Structure 1
Amino acid sequence: MYEDQTYEALLERMLDRVPEGMDKREGSIIYDALAPAAAEMAQMYIELEVSNNLYFPDTAGGEYLERSIAWTGITRHPAGKAQLSGKFYTSGGELLDIPLGSRFSLGLLHYSAAEKLSPGMYRLESETAGSEGNQYSGTLLPIDYIPGLARGEITALLVPGTDAESDGALRQRYFDSARRPSTSGNKYHYMEWAQDIQGVGGARVFPLWAGPKTVKVVIVNAEHKPASALLVSQVQQYIDPAPGLGEGQAPVGAVVTVESATGKTINVTAKVTLAAGYALQPVINAFTAILEKYRKEKAFAATYISQSVVGSLLLDTDGVVDYSGLKLNGGTGNVTLTETEVPLFGSVVLEV
């Protein structure tokens, strides 16, 4: 808006207002008096442009983005704590019950026992919010003495920890709310309710899936992978704990079934030509990381995984000059996904 208000343009306009016949050359008294003012005004216009952008959701960021959309009731999702399952054993290898609230360490993180799931198995909660709590393998070291405990280990990730919602995700959620309003128990309302639960990364809704007044909600976790039974249960309890009775968010008469998406494993094989100085294993690791990012983008957003896109991602990998014989699950075509499937990349085998 103010891109034309440069130092040079401002100074020229100011000098044009000086009566003719007076010395306006660079170095003159008038020039030297006006130049600092023009510089300050140019800086003011730059700051004014930045300030204007802070008032609109499409350009605002941080606190200003939150304030610009606060009138809608949409707020930034805070960081969430990871929930994992852990098993505990005696020296004889038998399962051991431990006191709730017992604390354990794994690496630099601490976890506490929040709920007993079965004999010797507990739901553990990370004491640190964020995705760094998703370390779901390894031996747990007790912080306090627990009689009879010989060994503890994390066995599965139940609900992924999540970082605080990014500006991009918050902005997109605001735009989605404006473009497809969720109200009166419509389809988008169910999607919103599902994603109110910490650890849910996406949802699809299937109205009338088993007859009148039935609704199925299929969810993925924050890593866009199949959700655990615990996460499915949490969403079910929030939306419709007593089918049809309106005890949750769903309206009276709606019978809601919450399920996890199913994962479709995709194995990738290809022959590659490496650039000079590159080893094969680091290239495989880099390509796997790129595939993981692509997988998250396509979960619940695509009906197939494109072989040509995977090929372009392979070419974009540092160290790969060319490739041949690219196959997905042993075939040379795309891999289709049903409405309730999400892609999971399995083995990545590259040969030279």
Structure 2
Amino acid sequence: METEQDIQNRMLSKIGEEHDKSTGSFIYDATKPAAIEFETKNKEIAAVQDKLDIEKLTDKELERFIYQRTGIERKRATKATEEVIISGSQGSSISKGELVGTDTINFVSLEDKVINESGLMHVLVECEKPGKIGNVPASSITKFPVTLPGLINVYNPRPFTNGYEAESDTDLRQRYYDKLQKPGKAGNKYHYLEWAKEVTGVGDARVVPRFNGPLTMKVVIIDANKQPASKELIQNVREHIENEMPFGVEELRVSTAAAVPINLSVSLTLADGYTEETVKAHIKTNGIEYLQQIAFKTSFVSYAKIGALIIASEGVLDYQNLLVNGGATNIPIGNEEVAIMGGVNE
């Protein structure tokens, strides 16, 4: 885009040399305000043009652009929910809205429950905050942020896995492109792909037509955290597709991708001030990010890229003897598999 000075120089170049065009001259000063205004208008025009380019839109503007053209809406963040077990004296209770938690995250009771003669009660709880922050490991909920009379202990027997971040701009934009470039029509495979990816919590999907003969369809999904999908999410996808699909399909199978753990063995040279445990955590974080990027996108985990993410991890000066799942080669990932981060030197 032309700057104010570029515009003024172009204007001055159209004026004959017999006129004084030096800085401070009448002609120079007369063209200066016009150049400033032209630059301002050019910026305004460029801003309008940018709003017609989906690659330059973000947040609410991107949502509005896509919804107006296709009806596609951004999938919202969800709060992680799961059951906890609370022990205490018979007759003690917990009410909706009362809290249990980890050391740092609170979960809200969704039920009114009373402890029976067993001394236990099972209570459905929900994270206070939406997103993956609520995806906590099993046995990590052990606190009562506020003392509740008669209640002694609490724990979650299963991990929480269904807290999802809001759909990213990148993923929303990709669904828009898929709608235009791979249109779902009359129950073709792209229709099943579209239906699966409409469900909140689905990160990606693959469709296998005629997997068990004519008039059969298989949909393989991963969740929004690019992990194997839960039974609840699988059921949600199945119900949504059944409500949308045409008559005549004899068998619809919805399943999750099988997990392929990626385990690393590596000799690390650490920077001063770092412990191996801290650096391993950084490597795992980078590994998770890489595996999320390639989930359902590539057919292998790159040995070279694993090495690159290790050397890029905070606290790593160098590494040697890297093995990925026991070897020094790429790890193949099948069409119905998803790579997940395993251990580092474990």
Could you say which TM-score interval applies, normalised by the shorter chain? 0.7 to 0.9
CA distance in 1, matches of 2:255, 2:82: 19
Match for residue 308 of structure 1? 304
Question: How much has 1:221 moved relative to structure 2?
Answer: 1.6
CA distance in 2, matches of 1:230, 1:158: 12
CA distance in 1, matches of 2:260, 2:95: 37
Match for residue 13 of structure 1? 10
CA distance in 1, matches of 2:198, 2:93: 32
Normalised by the size of structure 1, how large is the TM-score?
0.83
1:294 aligned partner, one-letter code: Y
Match for residue 103 of structure 1? 98
CA distance in 2, matches of 1:188, 1:67: 24
Superposition misfits of 4+ residues, deviation over 6 angstroms: 96-100
Match for residue 253 of structure 1? 248
Q: How does 1:261-276 map to 2 (within 5 A)?
A: 261-275=257-271
Match for residue 348 of structure 1? 344
2:65 pairs with 1:63? no
2:139 pairs with 1:141? no
Structure 1: tracts of 5 or more residues without a match = 241-247
Question: How much has 1:13 moved relative to structure 2?
Answer: 3.2
Match for residue 198 of structure 1? 200
Match for residue 74 of structure 2? 76
**Which of the numbers 177, 181, 184 marks the counterpart of 1:182?**
184
1:232 aligned partner, one-letter code: I
Identity %: 35
1:41 aligned partner, one-letter code: F
Secondary structure of 1:139's counterpart equals: coil
CA distance in 2, matches of 1:139, 1:335: 38
* Closer, same or farther: CA 323–8 of 1 in aligned 2, 3 Å: same
1:141 aligned partner, one-letter code: F
Match for residue 320 of structure 1? 316
Question: How much has 1:82 moved relative to structure 2?
Answer: 2.0
2:302 pairs with 1:299? no
Output one character per residue of 1:302-350: Cα deviation in whole Å (capped at 9) or x when no partner.
2222222211222222343432211122223222222222112221029
CA distance in 2, matches of 1:295, 1:121: 35
2:83 pairs with 1:85? yes
Contact map agreement 2:234 2:256 (CA 8 A) in 1: yes
CA distance in 2, matches of 1:349, 1:31: 71
Q: How does 1:92-131 map to 2 (within 5 A)?
A: 101=96, 103-106=98-101, 107-113=104-110, 120-131=121-132
Secondary structure of 1:81's counterpart equals: coil
CA distance in 1, matches of 2:212, 2:263: 34
Normalised by the size of structure 2, how large is the TM-score?
0.84
Question: How much has 1:275 moved relative to structure 2?
Answer: 4.3
Match for residue 44 of structure 1? 41
CA distance in 2, matches of 1:97, 1:334: 56
CA distance in 1, matches of 2:282, 2:265: 15
- Greater Cα offset, 154-163 or 173-182: 154-163
Question: How much has 1:208 moved relative to structure 2?
Answer: 1.8
Question: How much has 1:191 moved relative to structure 2?
Answer: 1.9
Structure 2: tracts of 5 or more residues without a match = 114-119
2:35 pairs with 1:34? no
CA distance in 1, matches of 2:324, 2:187: 40
Match for residue 335 of structure 2? 339
